[in-house]
Every structure is written in structure tokens, then in C-alpha cells.
Amino acid sequence: MNSTETDIPADADEAKTANRRYANLDEALQAQGVPESNHEFIRKFVDGLDVIGFYARSGYIKAIRRSLGPAIQIHSGYSTGFRSEMEIYAVLGDVEHSEGKRGWTVTHPRRKVPVTDSGKAPKQREIEYPICPECFMTLPATGKCDDCDV
């Protein structure tokens, strides 16, 4: 192998962590295990943003724009790296979105939710924390109150 060739990972797990360029969006989506019900949604903004390259990252696809601008991080249930709310409206219309540390984020139509053996999402269990009998503050994991030493 010469210096211009790259190793292509043997399986999808290895591809997720490699710094590998995918041949196209379809290959990237399949390798990363993105639900097929999100493919059309993702394809719409990828085309609208004129993305020219897709790279494997641990847990997401890095999509490089032709124009200068932040790379889009395509995760299974959301994508982030949009420049503005207006950019989201221009390429996707009125979809669920939010502003965060890494720019604007859109939520994909289908999000992966862990399921139990019964096929249902697990219930969130409520944790009850002990309360100090003196000051009624929540006790830390040590079981000793930081405020009144009880």
C-alpha cells in the first residue's frame, strides 16, 4: 500500500471510529446505523447545504460543506452545525430545532429510543434522595449533611 491509499475498515464498528471518507451519503448512513426513516430528511439538508464529503467519526458522520462554514455532525437522531435558524428554514422549512454550543441543531423525525424486551421504551425511575432532618437539604452521597454536619 502506498501513502495515498487508506485502510478501509472491515466492519461497521471499526468504520465508526476510523477517520475514513465515505464514498457517498448512503454508505455513511448505513455504516453509522442511522434509521432509514431519517434518510430522506438528512438527504434534504445535505443537498441544500451543498455537502461534498462525508467522514466517519465515533458515533456520527462529519459532513463537509463546499462553501466555508461549520461541518455538519449527523447523528442518529439529530444533526448539528447549522449556521443559523434562517439556514434551517431555508433548507428544511419549519422543523424541530434549537440553538446550542455547536450552532443550531435539528431533530430528525425518528430518534433512537432504547427499548426493553417487551418492545417498549423503559420507564424513567424516580430516585429519592435522603433529606437532612435538621435543615431539610438533600444529603450528598456520603450521607452527612454539608451544612449542619448531621
- Which tens digits make up the pLDDT trace of 79-124? 999 999 999 999 999 999 999 877 899 999 987 554 445 555 555 5
Q: What is the DSSP string of 23-57?
A: SSHHHHHHHHT--GGGHHHHHHHHHHTTEEEEEEE
Express as a percent the part of the chain with pLDDT over 70: 75
- Distance (Å, whole) CA 109 – CA 43: 13
Check: CB of residue 55 under 8 Å from CB of residue 64.
Answer: yes
pLDDT, tens only, 53-62: 999 998 899 9
Phi/psi of residue 58, nearest 5 degrees: -70, 105
Global model pTM greater than 0.75? no
Residue 28 pLDDT more than 70? yes
Q: Decide if pLDDT at 16 tops 80.
A: no
Average pLDDT across the chain, whole number: 80
pLDDT at 126: 62
